[in-house]
Amino acid sequence: MKLTYIGTAAAEAIPGLFCECSFCEKARKLKGREYRRRSGAVINDDLMIDFSPDAYTGTLSLGIRLNELKYVIFTHSHADHFSLKELEYRRTPVFCVLPEDREKLKVFGNRNIEDGLKKYYGVYLPDQGFEFTFVPPYVPFQIGQYTVTPLSAHHCPPEDAYIYLIESNGTTLLYANDSGMLTEPTFEYLKGRKLDIVSLDCTLGHSLHETGHMGFKANLKVKKILEENGCIKDDTVFVSHHFSHNGLRADEPGEIDWTYDNFMEMAKPHGFIMSYDGLVIEK
């Protein structure tokens, strides 16, 4: 499995579109890995997790061809993850030319995703180049080489936001953003399942809060519970992902800005790495 992070920031990106805070100004000076697009990832070039407003620029800069996408799975309906306008450019022949035998883009998600698609494109989605499938939580489904299981996340109630367990060719990924502390049913479902890659929401950064999103302390709690539940292997890769400048900025006495280098130094003893735009993990 090849996991590529297209974007690794929260809704306002880093530096924030209009922001002049100390961290955003530092990011503008340092550039490189401090620049973060809105969140999204691609697996093996044909499966995308979320479709953000930065999907085009992100995939273009990384040499990923969107015309090769077969599947898109959505975590929830917030605009930084579910960019309806950008998806419109998959329509043929109005916005793109594809071979006549090219299958329609298969889209999966919760009822909010379904409602959003139908309100924007109309009830009959195949005319727009899409095939949508509602997927309920904790029920695995098969797409190509992937077995995918949506797991309920605590993020934006009453919407049933998802994180995803994705299995392919003996490799298992837990992709967990946007999410606060994982729910008890989700921990119970994962019990005993061996995970190769664990990618966790870290939007809140320094903060100890764990409702709606997580910070790094919550990431450590998740890792500990997964270890206790028999989910971790000797070579499991743990990634902190989905960052806000508000969580990375040093606001309290004794804190330091969590730039990429500072975060990596802080997180290394705990067995975590920090995601960045373009990070590739292969297992």
Q: How many domains does the chain have?
A: 1
Looking at per-residue pLDDT, the higher value among 254 and 189 belongs to 189
pLDDT at 269: 97
pLDDT at 158: 96
Sheet holding 171-176, edge to edge: 141-143, 146-152, 162-168, 171-176, 195-201, 232-241, 272-274
pLDDT at 127: 78
Average pLDDT of every residue of the chain: 95
The pLDDT tens digits for 58-99 are: 999 999 999 999 999 999 999 999 998 898 898 888 888 989
pLDDT at 271: 97
pLDDT at 51: 97
110 three-state secondary structure: coil
pTM of the model: 0.95
162 three-state secondary structure: strand
Looking at per-residue pLDDT, the higher value among 38 and 88 belongs to 38
Question: Residue 76 is encoded by which pair of tokens?
Answer: 């929830």
Beta bridge partners of 215: 205
Q: For residue 258, is pLDDT > 90? A: yes
pLDDT at 102: 87
Token pair 């969107």 in the structure block, residue: 66
For residue 210, give every residue at least 6 positions away whose Cβ sits within 8 Å of its Cβ, in sequence order, or none: 180, 181, 204, 217, 218, 221
Q: What is the number of other CB atoms lying within 10 angstroms of the CB of residue 165?
A: 21
Angle at 200 between CA 156 and CA 75, to 5 degrees: 40
Question: Residue 187 is encoded by which pair of tokens?
Answer: 């921990």
Backbone angles phi, psi at 36, to 5 degrees: -135, 125
Question: 223: domain CATH number?
Answer: 3.60.15.10
Looking at per-residue pLDDT, the higher value among 123 and 177 belongs to 177
Q: Could you list the residue range(s) of the whole structural domain that residue 179 is in?
A: 2-282
**DSSP at 34:** G
pLDDT at 206: 97
95 three-state secondary structure: coil
Backbone angles phi, psi at 158, to 5 degrees: -85, 0
Average the pLDDT over 212-234 and give the result.
98
Token pair 């499938």 in the structure block, residue: 133
Q: What is the CA radius of gyration of the chain?
A: 18
Q: For residue 242, is pLDDT > 90? A: yes
Percent residues over pLDDT 70 in the chain: 100
Average the pLDDT over 255-275 and give the result.
97
Report d(CA 6, CA 81) in Å as an integer.
12
The pLDDT tens digits for 84-140 are: 889 889 888 888 898 988 889 999 999 999 999 999 888 778 877 889 999 999 999
Q: What is the number of other CB atoms lying within 10 angstroms of the CB of residue 189?
A: 17
What does each C-alpha distance from 124 to 89, 119, 131, 132 come to in angstroms? Answer: 17, 10, 9, 10
pLDDT at 129: 81
